[in-house]
Chains A and B, each alone.
Chain A
Amino acid sequence: MSEPQSPANARAGDELIEETPFTATAAANAPSAQAAGGRSFLPKSTLLRHLLILVLSAVGAVILLEVTDPFTNSQLASLTYYAIAAGGLTVLTGMNGQISLGHGALMAVGAYTTALFLGVDGEPLPLPVIFLVAVAISTIVGALVGVAAARLHGPYLAGATLALAVGLPGLALYFRDTLGGEQGLRVRAPEPPASFTNFIDLVSGNPASGTKWLAYVGVICLLITFFLLANLVRSRIGRTWRAVRDQEVAAELAGIDLGAWRVLAFVVSAACAGLAGAVLALVVRLAAPSGFTLVLSLALLTAIVIGGLGSLLGALLGSALLVFLPPFVTNLGGDFGLDQTKAAQLAPFVYGVVLIVAMIFAPAGIVGTIRLRWMTARAKRAVAGRAAHGG
């Protein structure tokens, strides 16, 4: 968190990125994975290209959910709420340069809103409406936090959002009559509609279980969120955010109100966190303070950095690490003959070591590192080509 150094680094990184890209935000700075390659079979228009990717991803998601077993379905459902929140956070941190250790608290806002609206006596509102309300309320909270946060930098922002992460769930304890206290609010997910059952029957003939339904709800929310975020990042708004991150002074001279744009970035990421919380409430079937500890906020931050800061694909991959690594390590420990308690204790150890090793050997995250490799290789080929041509 070296505040005096970071703008300089970022600037240097930007100038260098075309030739020798080192910067950790390499993942964010390349226009988009597809565009960077300049492949001609993709549409030129950003919107059309993103629509095409959206459709392909949707088809891919259906295939993935239908060929995998119910447990993997449930893991993918967990993956979606981490990824939605991480997607928003990566926009905030990767695009706009603000750190947040408090997005778990914003997820709690979305989760509790969902729990309250689904728990009403009588017929609850339709699910999409509840999701929109959850997004709206967490957006308002996010705006409040964002206004306060816009003035803060580096560790001070980290400290303030850290306090948010541990402070906000305290409200649920204090207002226990409404918010359920320590034991939380149970969430009963609405039954899947008949159209869903028919769809699954048509596609694969698998039984349309509750687990599968929740996984689909999560995937739909994830795809919509990522589609909107991808377009936003490529728009004028995204460019302005990057300017605010990399060239504070120049941006200000150009008449950009830094504070307002920082708040906007916070609001967008808070909206994502709210939706993620809503999906979490459905999938976990509970909104309780113990589900929104600091661990959650830190896990989100970890996901975006390990995946590749500023990249939506990176956020997705980082989230996958959160979901799949711990059970993998636990089961591996069991296979090596550890008793179940020791195997469980091993999981966080390996997780911690993976974080350290990844940051030392792949400081640009998964997506950033792969992209750097690929670009370096291309540059080398080009140089070699030129040399061969010249010789």
Chain B
Amino acid sequence: MSRSSRRLVTVLAAVTVASTLAACGGSNDNGGGGGSTANEASDTGVTADTIKIGSHYPLTGVAAPGYSTIPLGAQAYFDYVNKNGGVNGRKIDWVYKDDAYNPTNTSQVVNELVLKDEVFAIMGGLGTPTHSAVVDFLNSEGVPDLFVASGSRLWGEDPKKNPDTFGWQTDYESEGKIIGQYIAQKFPNAKVGLFLQDDDFGQDGEKGVRQFIDKQVVSAQRYTPGNTAVGPQIAALKAAGADFVVGFNVPAYTALSQLTALQLGFKPQWFYSNVGSDPTLVGALLNNFSQGKVADASSLEGTITTAYLPTVDHPDDPWVQLFQKVWDASGQTGPMSNYHIYGMSQAYTMVQALQAAGQNPTRKSLMDAVEKAGADWKGPGLAPFRYSADSHMGIGGMSVVQISGTSTKELQPVMTTDLGDAKIQAYDGKESTPPSSGIPDEKAAK
């Protein structure tokens, strides 16, 4: 945003605040911020009418495909909130920077966000190695480090070590456990092959899966991101006699593994983790190969996966309808994708957190609010967050779904669990629906 247009926004925001206050007679004070009724510049990055939130994403380079569109989703939702009065009258100023998925760059751009742009909080910083480089810095500076966009356990398992950092999505180990238990119950005779990314994602997923089906695993093959020749790995799974393959891989490798399996005539039952199974994306990729000549074989029909957020293939879902409305209103080009939904969902949680932090939020009140109230927030996530004083882990459950045609059908309702030997339980909460305004209305956390 240019300097002049930023100034314009500030003026507009001030006008909006004034008119809102006039219209509501100050009724939108929901009691936070120590009972004061006026907006103040209560902390770094917070003025009377703006809140600055920052983040880092790979916008260029090899990791850019897919991930670079997440911040556009968040932008769309923040724009929507801003147009409807903002959070307690404050507009959200969303600043995100490119780190090209290189931790050295991440450290530089997060320095810029914190020291120069003076953001109030970081939201949704993407990637395990990249974000690892800034966790200590953010915690030593006391900057809220909310909703890290990776399923690593690092972000939430030890709040004493990183008190300012919070996870958001279901962690890979819990996902692995839910997948493992499902296979143990429904496919007790399957010979399972594992197709794993050779990093914490694959490792944590494998650990979870093996808790339940260690004896069923006939082969575990690992690929390194960047090495696109997965022929040897898929051939090894086939040679080991696997008839059921669980993939903890990113979407590009879903397409590559499907393609390689097609070459080898390898037809197991596939089960991809949530990260790798964007059916719309992968399906579109696969259907384009060979100009549709192998469309029959390239569809992901029958493939099983997990879900913790609603997806674009369910246009009837009330959350998807809300996000579609938000996306269409944002004026951004192209159809809405699951990456956009991910960004909008994180932005939704962020707005809940800001509301709960009180009328005049401080960094401390923001983090306290997430820790105290976060577990009760209703949002697009299928299962609740696990936030508490002892855990900063995010969404704690998933459903199991099967790809059918251009959509997915549920095979197993949402189950919740946690790291280690925590039990897997059916989630008994009600499915949430978005508020009619499309904007959450959390009370200030006490």
Interface positions of A (Cβ within 8 A of B): 69-71, 73-75, 78, 170, 173, 176, 181-184, 186, 188, 210-211, 280, 283-286, 288-291, 293, 295-296, 323, 327, 330, 334-337, 340-341, 344-345, 347-348
Contact = CB atoms under 8 A, between A and B. Distances in A.
Contact of A341 (B5, B59, B140): B59
Interface in B35-54: none
Contact of B130 (A290, A296, A335): A290
Nearest to A181: B199
11 contacts: A71-B112, A71-B115, A170-B224, A183-B129, A186-B135, A290-B101, A290-B103, A327-B109, A344-B60, A344-B98, A348-B60
B359 interface: no
B59 A291 contact: no
For the complex of A and B, list the 7 residue pairs with the smallest distance between their C-beta atoms, beginning with the closest.
A182-B199, A344-B98, A71-B115, A71-B116, A286-B133, A74-B111, A344-B59
B443 to A, nearest CB: 33
Contacts of B441: none
B199 A183 contact: yes
B5 A183 contact: no
B115 A70 contact: yes
**Which secondary structure characterizes the binding site on chain A?**
helix
A293 B224 CA distance: 14
Given A75-B108, A341-B72, A344-B97, A334 B1 contact: yes
Interface residues of B, number: 43
A71 B111 contact: yes
Interface in B109-165: 109, 111-112, 115-116, 128-130, 132-137, 140, 152, 154
A48 to B, nearest CB: 38
B152 A183 contact: yes
Given A181-B199, A295-B102, A341-B68, A288 B133 contact: yes
**Which secondary structure characterizes the binding site on chain B?**
helix
Given A71-B115, A344-B98, A345-B60, A335 B129 contact: no
B252 to A, nearest CB: 16
Contact of B3 (A71, A323, A335): A335
A166 to B, nearest CB: 9
B107 A284 contact: yes
B129 A290 contact: yes
A309 B134 CA distance: 34
B200 interface: yes
Contacts of A290: 101-103, 129-130
Given A344-B97, A344-B98, A184 B60 contact: no
Given A285-B133, A323-B108, A340-B95, 4 more contacts: A181-B199, A210-B140, A211-B115, A286-B107
A337 B96 CA distance: 15
Given A71-B116, A183-B152, A296 B140 contact: no
A345 B103 contact: no
A360 to B, nearest CB: 25
B198 A181 contact: yes
Interface in B77-111: 95-98, 100-104, 107-109, 111
B439 to A, nearest CB: 23
Contacts of A184: 103, 129, 132-133
A337 B2 contact: yes
B379 interface: no
A285 B136 contact: yes
Interface string B1-26: 11101000000000000000000000
A194 B129 CA distance: 32
Nearest to B135: A186
A222 B385 CA distance: 47
Nearest to B63: A290
Nearest to B227: A170
Contacts of A73: 115
A182 B2 contact: no
B167 interface: no
A183 B71 contact: no
Nearest to B134: A285
Nearest to A292: B104
Contacts of A347: 60, 98
A284 B104 CA distance: 6
Contacts of A176: 198
Contacts of A183: 128-129, 132, 152, 154, 199-200
Contacts of B199: 173, 181-183
A4 B438 CA distance: 70
Given A182-B198, A290-B102, A344-B98, A69 B107 contact: no
Interface string B25-39: 000000000000000
B194 to A, nearest CB: 17
* Most chain B C-beta atoms within 10 Å of own C-beta, residue among A74, A184, A290: A290
A74 B108 contact: yes
A232 to B, nearest CB: 28
Contacts of A186: 132, 135-136
B116 A69 contact: yes
Contact of A283 (B72, B107, B129): B107
* Most chain A C-beta atoms within 10 Å of own C-beta, residue among B95, B132, B136: B132
Contacts of B134: 285
Contacts of B2: 334-337
A39 B225 CA distance: 57
Contact of A285 (B68, B109, B137): B137
Given A181-B200, A341-B71, A344-B98, A286 B115 contact: no
Contacts of A284: 103-104, 107, 133
A349 B337 CA distance: 27
A291 B104 CA distance: 6
Nearest to B98: A344
A166 B336 CA distance: 37
